[in-house]
Amino acid sequence: MSESETKYAELHLDGKVIRLPILEGTEQEKGIDISALRKETGYITVDPGFFNTGACYSKVTFIDGEKGILRYRGIPVEELAEKATFVQTAYLLLHDRLPNEKQLKAFSSLLNLNSMLHEDMRHFFDGFPRGAHPMHILSTMINALCTFYPNVDMLSLKEDINLSATRLISTVRTVAAFAYKKSIGEPIVYPRYDLPYCANFLNMMFDSPVKPYEVNKDVVRALDLLLILHADHEQNCSTTTVRTVGSAQVDLYASISAGVSALSGPLHGGANQAVIDMLRKIMRSEGNIQKFVERAKDKNNPFRLMGFGHRIYKTFDPRATIIKKTCHDLLEKLKINDPLLDLAMELEDIATHDDYFIERNLYPNVDFYSGIIYRAIGIPENMFTVMFALGRLPGWIAHWQEMISQNTKISRPRQIYTGKTLRHYEKI
Ligand code: CMC
């Protein structure tokens, strides 16, 4: 936009009028550029939790939370869920275009070539205590990758992001499966060159010397779909973490490791595990859903309905709608009758008809039904958030890459100091 076309908002402050440029994105999202505010006025803006703060310009993902729209690089997530694979979606996020046949072959082959974990890293798993949460193991192992690939600095990544991104997407899958095998005391299963991404992961998870794993195409498709739906979600807490950490020119692995830690929280990716825990508790209370709904509404009770509510969506989360349908389809195909699915649907029905949830626009989010699919696939509950991380990797990398290419300034918010004013040291 040329200088003459720029529109301005006016701020009247201390007898002065400050003109602040109005910005508009390609989907008509509007913002006010306050970058010169402090310099011109001495004031800062305060927005804890970043309800109103845009921290960057991004071309990766578009969300309209009022209409329930989610698009990666312009393509609706519904189309990708129906027609694409996770590997194609990852390529799309990283390269801003869907791969053609040749590009997909090359990308898949790179994923395959980089699927091995450095042998010395296998011993790391022995050092974790029994019962260590796989998300903690995952973030530690990703950070440790920096020590094995020390040449991955900002400069080489700019030139060769393809290799580093692919290595990360492929290796993390291996780390996740190894962490699981370690936790159940079974020998690890190495990646296989002849299996595509999701089937390869499932094989590493479930193959054993005494019971070979048989790849089930419905299970593979369901996993593919879940990973696609988790692949990006613009400036969520973990992605913002990746961008913030990376803004200090921290390398890709360490930045992603920080993102994994952010994701593990129960208000973020950790919610998928917490949902199943909550449903089980409801079951144990003889299915008294209303009691739990009342607890969630009680301001004196910290309990929340897990898998409900979202900072951005003020209507149904489009991912939840697809996952709910897939959940039904998969359970039917696998002939599984999971009482937790019936309970979840009943809970959704009660909550979405309750004034408290209606007034606050609280609907099921991506985490509400995903755990039921993971259970059907045989993924243990403490691995649910690891699955979220596997899916989110291409998004994190795309944002890190974008952040680097924009020559981003270091993230460094300000504060309003509310502590003691000047006082002096007193001798004891
Ligand atoms: N159960 C009960 N009340 C809720 C819930 C819930 N799940 N979520 C929000 N509220 C209430 C909240 O108490 C507040 O009420 P009031 O206005 O009376 O104070 C109002 O709704 C707005 O909530 P908020 O905490 O200001 O909203 P937020 O945007 O800061 O939080 C959230 C978003 C996802 C953290 C929150 O909805 C929540 O804690 N949900 C449960 C955890 C969960 O499912 N997380 C997964 C999110 S989706 C996956 C991802 O991308 O991370």
Residue 309 in contact with ligand 1 by CB distance below 6 A: yes
Alpha carbons 86 and 394: distance in angstroms, whole number: 10
pTM score, two decimals? Answer: 0.95
Q: How far is CA 74 from CA 152, 165, 384, in A?
A: 30, 21, 28
Question: What sign results for the dihedral spanned by CA atoms 414, 419, 425, 428?
Answer: negative
| Residue found under tokens 């100091």 | 417
367 is annotated as an active-site residue? yes
Q: Can 354 be counted among the known catalytic residues?
A: no
Could you identify the atom of ligand 1 that is nearest to the CA of residue 49? 30
Pocket probe mutation, ligand 1, options 53, 135, 308, max atoms within 8 Å of Cβ: 308
Q: Is 314's C-beta closer than 6 angstroms to any atom of ligand 1? A: no
360 lines ligand 1 (CB under 6 A): yes
The owner of tokens 């924009």 is: 406
Residue 372 CA to ligand 1 center (angstroms) comes to 21
Among residues 314, 311, 322, 327, the alpha carbon closest in space to that of 271 is found at: 311
Distance 24 CA to ligand 1 centre (A): 28
Active-site residue, from 133, 230, 310, 399: 310
Does the Cβ of 275 fall within 6 Å of ligand 1?
A: no
Contact predicate 396/236, CB 8 Å: no
**Centroid of ligand 1 to alpha carbon of 61 (angstroms):** 22
Q: Which amino acid residue places its CA nearest to atom 51 of ligand 1?
A: 268
Q: What angle do CA 392, 386, 373 make, to 5 degrees?
A: 90
Q: How far is the CA of 132 from the centre of ligand 1 (A)?
A: 28
How far apart are alpha carbons 144 and 251 in whole angstroms? 12
- Kindly give the distance from the C-alpha atom of residue 4 to the centroid of ligand 1, in angstroms, as a whole number: 42
Nearest atom of ligand 1 to the alpha carbon of 311: 29
Task: Quote the ligand 1 centre to 178 CA distance (angstroms).
Answer: 34
Which residue is it, tokens 């990973």? 227
Residue labelled with tokens 């699915």: 341
| Cα gap 250→244, rounded to integer Å | 9
Give the number of the atom of ligand 1 that is nearest the alpha carbon of residue 233: 51
338, with CB counted inside 10 A (0-12, 13-18, 19+), is middle
CA of 293 to the centre of ligand 1 (A): 14
Q: What is the pLDDT along the chain (428 residues), one digit of tens a residue?
A: 566 789 999 999 999 999 999 999 999 999 999 999 999 999 999 999 999 999 999 999 999 999 999 999 999 999 999 999 999 999 999 999 999 999 999 999 999 998 998 889 988 988 888 888 999 999 999 999 888 876 555 555 555 677 888 989 999 999 999 989 988 889 999 999 999 999 999 999 999 999 999 999 999 999 999 999 999 999 999 999 999 999 999 989 999 999 999 999 999 999 999 999 999 999 998 879 999 999 999 999 999 999 999 999 999 999 999 999 999 999 999 999 999 999 999 999 999 999 999 999 999 999 999 999 999 999 999 999 999 999 999 999 999 999 998 888 999 999 999 999 999 999 99
CB distance 306 to ligand 1 below 6 Å? yes
Q: What is the pLDDT of residue 63?
A: 98
Q: Which residue puts its alpha carbon closest to atom 29 of ligand 1?
A: 311
307 Cβ below 6 A of ligand 1:
yes
Q: What are residue 168's phi and psi, to 5 degrees? A: -65, -50
Asked if residue 366 has its Cβ within 6 Å of ligand 1, the reply is yes
Among 401, 351, 335, residue whose Cα is nearest residue 158: 401
Judge if the beta carbon of residue 167 lies within 6 A of ligand 1.
Answer: no
Give the residue whose CA is nearest to atom 34 of ligand 1.
310
Residue nearest ligand 1's atom 32 by CA: 310
State whether the beta carbon of 165 lies less than 6 angstroms from ligand 1: no
Could you write out the three-class secondary structure of the chain?
Answer: CCHHHCCEEEEEECCEEEEEEEEECCCCCEEECCCCHHHHHCCCCCCHHHCCCCCCCCCCEEEECCCCEEEECCEEHHHHHHHCCHHHHHHHHHHCCCCCHHHHHHHHHHHHHCCCCCHHHHHHHHHCCCCCCHHHHHHHHHHHHHHHCCCCCHHHHHHHHHHHHHHHHHHHHHHHHHHHHHHCCCCCCCCCCCCCHHHHHHHHHHCECCECCCCCHHHHHHHHHHHHHHCCCCCCHHHHHHHHHHCCCCCHHHHHHHHHHHHCCCCCCCHHHHHHHHHHHHHHCCCCHHHHHHHHHCCCCCCCCCCECCCCCCCCCHHHHHHHHHHHHHHHHCCCCCHHHHHHHHHHHHHHCCHHHHHCCCCECCHHHHHHHHHHHCCCHHHHHHHHHHHHHHHHHHHHHHHHHCCCCCCCCCCCCCCCCCCCCCCC
> 197-206 and 154-183 are packed helices; what angle lies between their axes, rounded to 10 degrees?
40
The residue contributing the CA closest to ligand 1 atom 10 is 309
Please report the atom of ligand 1 found closest to the CA of residue 368.
44
- What is d(CA 352, CA 349) in angstroms, rounded to the nearest whole number? 5
Whole-number Å distance, alpha carbon 234 to ligand 1 midpoint, is 18
